Amino acid sequence: MDAEQLKTLQGHTVDGPLLIKPKVFGDERGWFFESWNQKKFNSAAGENVIFSQDNHSRSVRGVLRGLHYQLDPEPQAKLVRASYGSIFDVAVDIRSESETFGNWVGAELTSSNHHQLWIPEGFAHAFLTLSEVAEVQYKARGFWNKECERAIRWNDPKLNIGWPLERLEGKDVALSEKDGEAPMLKDAQSRGDIFK
């Protein structure tokens, strides 16, 4: 399991998120890879990570979920992968005292590249479905808690996320009502709805 900080991919330089590239063993019969290994992941993340729950979603092309995060007392970290199809996965630094506050990193996660994105606490997360259908699985540290849940607008011009909208083949972005009404980062910040 190789891990690299998202410094050379799309977006900015941000410490915390990691792009995990599992070793895939394949031949004419198919392939095999470890999608999760506690010891290797802890070494890559530099800490002992214990996950609380696994989540699985299915989305059609153009669906954008996020930018989601949870505040104390139940913040969440996520290890995300596309088990079917293709997504553009994004993490935004919303740690108010971070030198990279408001910066984002992104990577394409597909069922063929097997890459995973580690998004620690302190980051908002979103993904855009690029394939006709995608299934996304992620491990979460911290349980879902409606009282702690927050969101930031996906197209906040201050964030200027480089969503690959040209890959939607003419479809519009499809959002939940909650995500469509999410505040801009500056409004979330003025309400104290970011990480200290």
Q: Where are the domains of the chain?
A: 2-190
Q: Convert the pLDDT of each residue in 126-160 to its tens digit.
A: 999 999 999 999 999 999 999 999 999 999 999 99
Query: Does pLDDT of 112 surpass 50?
Result: yes
68, 69, 114, 125: the catalytic one is: 68
Please give the pLDDT value at position 40.
Answer: 87
Higher-scoring residue by pLDDT: 115, 44:
115
Q: Which of 1, 83, 89 is nearest to 41 (CA)?
A: 1
Evaluate whether 79 touches 51 at the Cβ level (below 8 Å). Answer: yes
CATH (residue range 2-190): 2.60.120.10
Structure tokens at 157: 């011009």
Please give the pLDDT value at position 28.
Answer: 92
Mean pLDDT to the nearest integer, 89-100 = 95
Backbone angles phi, psi at 99, to 5 degrees: -65, -20
Mean pLDDT to the nearest integer, 51-73 = 97
Please give the pLDDT value at position 166.
Answer: 96
190 in helix, strand or coil? helix
Cα angle: 95, vertex 82, 167; to 5 degrees: 85
Evaluate whether 109 touches 137 at the Cβ level (below 8 Å). Answer: no
State yes or no: is 125 an active-site residue. Answer: no
69, 114, 125, 138: the catalytic one is: 138
Distance CA 45, CA 48 (A): 8
Please give the pLDDT value at position 35.
Answer: 85
State yes or no: is 84 an active-site residue. Answer: no
Please give the pLDDT value at position 8.
Answer: 45
Task: Indicate the residue type of 30.
Answer: G
Mean pLDDT to the nearest integer, 118-133 = 97
Mean pLDDT of the chain: 92
Kindly report the pTM of this predicted structure. 0.91
